[in-house]
Amino acid sequence: KLTLESLAFRNKIAEANKQKAVNGRPPMVMSKEDADLITVGNMEDNLSWLSECDWIVEVVPENLDIKKAVLKSVQPYIKPGTIVTTNTSGISVNRIVEEMPLEFRQYWLGTHFFNPVRYMKLLEIIPCNDTLPEVVRFMADFGERVLGKGIVYCKDTPNFIANRLGVRTSVSFTQKTDEFNLSIDEVDAIAGPAMGRPKTAVYGLADLVGLDISVASCSTVYNNVSGEEKELFIRPAWYNEMATRGLLGNKAGGGFYKKVGKDKLVIDVKTFDYRPMKSVSFPSLDAALKEKSFIKKMEIFFESDDVAAQFVWRHQRDVFLYAAAKLGEISDDILNMDRAMRWGYNFPAGPFEMWNGLDLPKYIARMEAEGCQIPAWVKEMLAAGITSFYKTEAGVEYYYCAVAKKYVPVQHKPEVIVLPELKAQNKVVLSDPAGSLYDIGDGVVCLQLTNKSTFINGAAIDFIKKVQEELNQNWEGLVITGSGSNFCTGNDLAWVMEQINNKNWDAIDAALKNAQDTFMAIKYSDKPVVAAVYGQTRGSGCEMAMQAAGIQLAGETSMGLVDFSAGLVPAHGAVKEL
């Protein structure tokens, strides 16, 4: 039996959180075997452990006084030179340590991870006024190289970058829910895949995060901005009323949605009663859902005039104008702002990227005609004849820098190889619609498969054979990778089905033999072949990787022989590798 005197009692909160991390669906650790590396402790018995640490992260509740008190209590146990960071989502990192000594502040900064940390790429780095530059550089390098995060440098402003823009985005959606008299399920139907966003959309995401968290995050910004900007962070009364009533989302058994048996109900924010969800249809919405391209989706909404189209235009317009007005205050460049929204919120594009491929001058003129105030730097950019925030030339990506008043290249670390940029350096060895072969240095070439559907077909096999011949004659090693969000999703099943329907068995046998021989040549190549896989690596893509001399997997790779689940035997040589 646990008592106040027992160590297990004092550790029970930490132990419970560890079990949630390890046994959650999905777990927050990549391998459950790593759970043994996590040792739980408590503030009464184990503060001395801090003297053994090189990096300490504060993750206590979002309350300035609590954070200050915790830091004061742990400081005596921290050895000089230990990096201490806060995971605050929006409280000033300078204010948290304003009462701490300089020696502490020099090794202090914000490291804002995004939930779920295992999956979300963004890591915001927020130095305080006294953080040593070498500490900032180390944390950014460690975060990117070891933790695999995308680094965004932030100023110490309310909610930093991602949550500042993310909260504004969320509040805009809720405000326009009222303005256009739309229901919760109507907004989520519009603001989900039709806008290139996840199915959770607006209110499903709020249920996932928790309304209490959303309200608190919004309050942080509201309380720290002034003037007319405050109005941009005022949610409708019904949103706060739901939080007051405890309708906090999934963790409370219901929020904007709740499950009753097998039925999913949605709340009516005028009565706070739940009702069955309804089918939602608008001409622009229906058309946008049929498009895969984000740009095409936006064009449909922007050029239509039904309620859904007006909703999307007004929302995208207002979020863009807010982000543009904040350039220089929360970030010195648009690249950081766009990356923050893509990496931290899984948006298909940030507030500036979303205009790539659209007629920006036309839509800016529309905003002006609607009485909107356009930031001076945007007008200056357009007046200089620059009509897009980004451009790509010879494989090199550029973004518009408002300070330099011109395009500047997106910078990468020297050790990072950006394959498209090698085109500008005349490093393309072979090229074909199925792929490109690049010289990546040190006698090594990289095959990037580029067919749009990320599957193995006859054209891909033929190009791989050409690459093998080139490798054997002129190079020391080969890396194989993909070009889309997935390494390879398998075989070209449409072609296979066509041959089956035509009873063209000889063609199927010939294609299988061709692929088997090609993959076998990878296995027995005199030169080492490494498969750099990521995303979905399935079926024939998995079979090809299994026969390489080595496999380098990206985190969260989904790799397997899906043929078995359909009652089929993999046909490209993987069975012998099992």
Alpha-carbon distance of 463 to 473, in angstroms, equals 16
Q: Which amino acid is at 81?
A: G
335 alpha-carbon distance from chain centroid: 15
* Strand pairing class (122-127; 108-113): antiparallel
Instruction: Report the pLDDT value the prediction gives residue 420, as an integer from 0 to 100.
Output: 87
Q: 376 is written with which tokens?
A: 């001076």
Residue 143: DSSP 8-state = I
Nearest to 436 by CA among 395, 473, 486: 395
Residue whose C-alpha is closest to residue 84's, from 146, 127, 147 = 127
Which residue blocks in 303-371 are alpha helix, DSSP H? Answer: 307-326, 334-345, 360-369
- pTM summary value: 0.90
- Cα 396–397–398 angle (5° rounding)? 120
Alpha helices in 276-306 (DSSP H): 283-289, 294-302
- For tokens 């801090």, the residue is 50
pLDDT of 452 reads 67
Helix (H) or strand (E) holding 110: strand 108-113
Residue ranges and CATH numbers for the domains of the chain are 46-153 (3.40.50.720), 162-371 (1.10.1040.50), 427-577 (3.90.226.10)
Dihedral sign (CA 319, 321, 326, 332): positive
Task: For residues 187 and 113, give the distance between their C-alpha atoms in angstroms, rounded to a whole number.
Answer: 28
Alpha carbon distance 108, 135 (integer Å): 8
**Residue ranges of the chain with per-residue pLDDT less than 70:** 1, 452-453
Residue 341 to residue 197: CA distance in whole angstroms: 12
